Amino acid sequence: MSTSNEIDNKIHLKKDGSIKYNILAVTGPTATGKTALAAHLAFRLGGEVISADSRQVYRGMDIGTGKDLDDYVVEGTRIPVHLIDIVDAGYQYNVFEFKRDFQKVMADLRARGKFPVLCGGSGLYIEAVLRDYRLIEVPVNETLRAELKEKSLEELTTILKTYKSSLHNITDIVNTKRAIRAIEIEDYYQNLNINTIPSECQSLPDGASPSLSPSFSQSLSPLVSQSLSPLVSQSLSPLVSPSLSPLIVALHFDVETRRKRITERLHQRLNQGMIEEVGGLLRSGIAPEALTYYGLEYKFITLYLTGELTRQEMIQKLNIAIHQFAKRQMTWFRKMEREGTIINWIDGNLTLEEKVNQVLELMQTRQES
């Protein structure tokens, strides 16, 4: 096996000494083995992993989010991974914060000469950094919040619909707190004066509506963000961030194999203590609706533990929901390809060593072309 220095000399640089790729992105739908592949690639490239998973940022949410921490140990070496376990469960992390945190990590890796391997299935997060979305932090509007605080969820939903007729993000109305924040964000964009936005935050082309900016994704849940309308990202950013030169690879299986892997992985995680993990979060004082916000495992197990579903109903509904989620992820990746992003699909049935070698060959072949 080649050393990381040998790989670095062959892959990181063109023949003239200039950099071809300065980041590798490993993506694909859930349960395809992204973590292990990313860790082994980081080992071979002398790099570190940056997580692009919108739920792995939360501490104490390990089994449900599939952190698979043991996969980061390669030949006895633990590969550093960034942007996991950075906020407490119950917090609502968003793509604005991810992009900010990603840039900090990238600066650190560059300063230390470490090659970045971005890994995750959150399509919005990956595009936000690779396409350099210009995101605007929406401030708190205390006056508006005071006006809305006594209203029911039904009343807030009606108000939100006056801003946007179609509610793409159903978690906007999962509770009154979420609904008020969603209204606050929409109100901000409706009254936004493009001339007051700092130039470094502007990316809207002439005639584009600020309401289509990816920055409104601050109101998106980690899961619903996967089905964000393509209208949001089209033409708002360059196809690739001017500071990044990425190679994007994605793992895939045929539909039946993917479905089998998802179901097997669900039962494996249930046996590993996923229900107990959610129970512990509830006992720690996190409200059920706060866990429901995270979707999938945390939503359905919370409904089971609070008596709204039987165990059998929970497993059945959760299994279906994960399959639907994987389908939405694939829809997102196909959308990226339609918009011109090159994704190199890797057969998930290959051995791990074969996958690693195929990606390294891609990097070397593309840099010579």
| Residue 334 located in a structural domain | yes
- Domain region containing 49: 4-133+238-254+328-368
Same domain flag for 250 and 262: no
Same domain flag for 295 and 245: no
* DSSP β-bridge partners for residue 117: 24, 49
* CATH (domain of 281): 1.10.287.890
| Residue 228 located in a structural domain | no
Task: Please state, in angstroms and rounded to a whole number, the distance separating the CA atoms of residues 63 and 43.
Answer: 24
| Residue 232 located in a structural domain | no
Task: Please state, in angstroms and rounded to a whole number, the distance separating the CA atoms of residues 215 and 222.
Answer: 14
- The pLDDT value given to residue 185: 86
Same domain flag for 50 and 154: no
2: Cβ contacts below 8 Å, ≥ 6 apart: 10, 44
- The pLDDT value given to residue 105: 98
Over range 79-107, report the average pLDDT. Answer: 95
Over range 326-341, report the average pLDDT. Answer: 95
Confidence check: pLDDT of 120 > 70:
yes
Q: Which residues of 256-285 are buried (b: 16+ CB within 10 A; e: fewer)?
A: eebbebbeeebeebbeeebbebbeebbeee
* Most confident residue range from 52-56, 89-93, 131-135, 234-238: 52-56
Per-residue pLDDT tens over the stretch 265-306: 999 999 999 999 999 999 999 999 899 989 999 999 999 999
- The pLDDT value given to residue 164: 73
Same domain flag for 9 and 120: yes
Confidence check: pLDDT of 140 > 50:
yes
Q: Per-residue confidence at 134, pLDDT binned at 50, 70, 90? A: confident
Confidence check: pLDDT of 258 > 90:
yes
In the structure encoding, which two tokens stand for residue 69, read together? 């921490």
| Residue 231 located in a structural domain | no
Under 8 Å between Cβ of 296 and 272: no
- The pLDDT value given to residue 137: 76
Same domain flag for 351 and 247: yes
Query: Which of 58-72, 110-124, 230-244 is predicted with the least confidence, judged by mean pLDDT?
Result: 230-244
| Residue 55 located in a structural domain | yes
Q: Per-residue confidence at 124, pLDDT binned at 50, 70, 90? A: very high
Tell me the pTM.
Answer: 0.79
| Residue 246 located in a structural domain | yes
| Residue 153 located in a structural domain | yes
- The pLDDT value given to residue 243: 84
Same domain flag for 203 and 100: no
Same domain flag for 174 and 211: yes
The DSSP 8-state label assigned to residue 169 in this structure reads: -
Per-residue pLDDT tens over the stretch 177-229: 888 988 998 898 888 765 454 444 433 322 223 332 222 333 333 333 333 33
pLDDT, the chain, mean? 83
Same domain flag for 85 and 118: yes
- The pLDDT value given to residue 232: 35
Per-residue pLDDT tens over the stretch 66-87: 999 999 999 999 999 999 999 9
- The pLDDT value given to residue 324: 95
- Number of compact structural domains in the chain: 3
* DSSP β-bridge partners for residue 48: 116
Question: What beta strand segments (E) does the chain contain?
Answer: 23-27, 47-51, 58-59, 73-74, 77-78, 81-82, 87-88, 115-119, 246-252, 344-347
Same domain flag for 287 and 363: no
| Residue 233 located in a structural domain | no
Nearest to 216 by CA among 192, 245, 199: 192
Confidence check: pLDDT of 174 > 70:
no
Same domain flag for 192 and 283: no
Same domain flag for 115 and 250: yes
Same domain flag for 108 and 152: no
* CATH (domain of 103): 3.40.50.300
